[in-house]
Amino acid sequence: MDCAQFEGIVHEIDRPGTEGFAFREAALAHAESCSRCARLMTQVESLDLGLRAFASHEAERQAPAHVGNELMEEFRRTKAAASRRRFRSQVVALATAAAVLLALGVSLRHRLMTGPSPAPARDLAGNHPSPAAPAGSAEPATTAARPDSEDSLTADNLASESADATAFVPLPYADDPSAADGGAVVRVVLSRPALASLGLPVTDMGATDRIPADIIVSEDGAPQAIRLVSQSSLDD
Amino acid sequence: MRAVDNDGKMTQVTDQTDARLLRRIMAGDEEAFAHVYRQKHPAIYRFALHMSGNAAVAEDVTQEVFMALIREPGRFDPAKGTLGGFLFGIARNHLRKRWERDRRLVPFTGDSEEMDDLISSSAASRNGNGHGPVASARDEFSSLETIGRVRQAISTLPGNYREVVVLCELEEMSYEEAASALGCPVGTVRSRLHRARAILVEKLCESRAARHAPAVDE
């Protein structure tokens, strides 16, 4: 070992697991033969003693008790706040579930009281499904009847309007053929492009035009078939 | 593993890994938090004290470190290092923010009042164990003088050297633990410590030489 190597490891010859510790014996042997490195080793040992004395002197230092007490208080406050948040979210979830159940109950009761609707006049055969259309483009008309209200369209008034309306066309994604017999009819107002995307024969495409239409909705609320209604019948 | 709480009561703590303790803290277990605080806060406090040189700052930093643990325990990832390293990292960030905010911090040099307290408490214990009062007092004073010089030398080190000295020498961390706490490679810790110790040797030699130089009366 030469002096440069000695200087490279002298600060860690007493630190287990280090390169200096691995070459400790060689370093000590070198210090015995080199007065300059022996002096450096003495200085390093003196530093180690000083650091150990300082560390030992400081070892009992710790934060005052009030710091720990305040932290414990904060921990309890945070825990209580978290419990309150959990409780609130559980209440909200329960309230939402209750509201949904109530709505379903009311809807079912209404259906039982009004009885099943006869099948609307329609022509489900011979129409070709077109690419899926966005159901969200439907805009309920302000004058349209709601299926669960007193103004729901029944077979009778549908029949009376049949002269002013086209036949029902099944929607491309209709998955409940029986809904055509028992489903509710909702009147909506749709744009021409939206109607065309549903496979209806719409000419003179004006994006801003609004066309009234009837949609058969199954029990789960999914639209099943659609027909156009003339503007005049809506005005009446 | 055994731990002694502040009341001196011995509590048995079995196989409390950092991750398990953190899970218990996240579940609101007060005892787990108290255990982590008792175990970790002295080192954090001393680190902040040696780095800031100010006991009030050290208290604040210690409080902020454990506040962070209370509010966001999920930030600790056991895969990235130890809980101790994570807490030292937070302490270091807070100290840096403080340095940026307030550059008027002065190095911790201790005070004469503290030295007097130490000497009198040492004298009291000396009288109890029968050592010769004069020789012991001389040794004690010499030891306190050495401590004072080491403290002074450490406080004048550049920050990145001082933190490796505090962690590796005073807190007896391994290079790996210090590297995890400082967020740097082990090689960086090793080289910084080597350089810091070389500076300390120089400073202590200078201070010893100044002490032994004959006083010149005009």
For residue range A105-140, what is the model confidence (pLDDT) as tens digits? 888 888 877 765 554 444 444 444 444 444 444 444
User: Any chain B CB within 8 A of the CB of A58?
Assistant: yes
Nearest to B84 by CA among B105, B103, B70, B69: B69
- Tokens standing for residue A143: 């004058």
**Selected residue with higher pLDDT from A202 and B128:** A202
Name the closest residue on chain B to residue A45, using Cα atoms.
B201
Rounded CA gap, B137 and B126, in Å?
A: 9
Q: What is the pLDDT of residue B189?
A: 93
Q: Are B16 and B1 in contact (CB under 8 A)?
A: yes
Say whether A50 and B204 touch across the interface (CB within 8 A): yes
- Give the phi and the psi of residue A109 in degrees, each rounded to 5: -60, -45
Residues of B within 8 A of A79 (CB-CB) are 28, 30
List, for residues B95-130, the tens digit of each pLDDT value.
988 888 776 555 554 444 444 454 444 444 444 444
User: Any chain A CB within 8 A of the CB of B19?
Assistant: no
Residues of B within 8 A of A68 (CB-CB) are 6, 37-38, 41
Rounded CA gap, A49 and B143, in Å?
A: 10
- Here the ipTM equals 0.70
User: Any chain A CB within 8 A of the CB of B36?
Assistant: no
- CATH architecture group of domain B112-212: Orthogonal Bundle (1.10)
List, for residues A9-28, the tens digit of each pLDDT value.
889 888 888 888 888 889 89
User: How many CB atoms neighbour CB A148 within 10 A?
Assistant: 14
Region of residue A80 (phi > 0: left; psi between -120 and 50: alpha; otherwise: beta): alpha
- List the CATH code of the domain at B2-101: 1.10.1740.10
User: Any chain A CB within 8 A of the CB of B203?
Assistant: no
Name the closest residue on chain B to residue A49, using Cα atoms.
B146
**How does the average pLDDT of chain B come out, rounded?**
77
The domain spans of chain B are 2-101, 112-212
Residues of A within 8 A of B146 (CB-CB) are 49-50, 53-54
How far is the alpha carbon of A79 from chain B, nearest alpha carbon, in Å?
A: 6
The model's pTM is 0.57
Q: What is the pLDDT of residue A177?
A: 67
- Tokens standing for residue A33: 């033969």
Rounded CA gap, A64 and B59, in Å?
A: 8
Which of B28, B146, B205 comes nearest A82 by C-beta? B28
Nearest to B108 by CA among A54, A206, A125: A54
Q: What is the pLDDT of residue B83?
A: 86
Residues of B within 8 A of A49 (CB-CB) are 146
User: Any chain B CB within 8 A of the CB of A32?
Assistant: no
Question: DSSP string spanning chain B?
Answer: -EEE-TTS-EEE--S--HHHHHHHHHTT-HHHHHHHHHHHHHHHHHHHHHHHS-HHHHHHHHHHHHHHHHH-GGG--GGG--HHHHHHHHHHHHHHHHHHH-TT-------HHHHHHHHHHHHHHHHHHT--HHHHHHHHHHHHHHHHHHHHHHHTS-HHHHHHIIIIIIS---HHHHHHHHTS-HHHHHHHHHHHHHHHHHHHHHHHHHHHSPP---
Query: Inter-axis angle of helices B83-101 and B30-52, to 10 degrees?
Result: 40
The length of chain B is 218
pLDDT > 90: percent of chain A: 4
How far is the alpha carbon of A52 from chain B, nearest alpha carbon, in Å?
A: 7
Say whether A68 and B41 touch across the interface (CB within 8 A): yes
| pLDDT band of B47, cuts 50, 70, 90 | very high
Say whether A47 and B59 touch across the interface (CB within 8 A): no
Residues of B within 8 A of A43 (CB-CB) are 201, 204-205
Rounded CA gap, A177 and A156, in Å?
A: 21
The kind and range of the H/E element at A98 are helix A65-114
DSSP annotation of A229 reads B
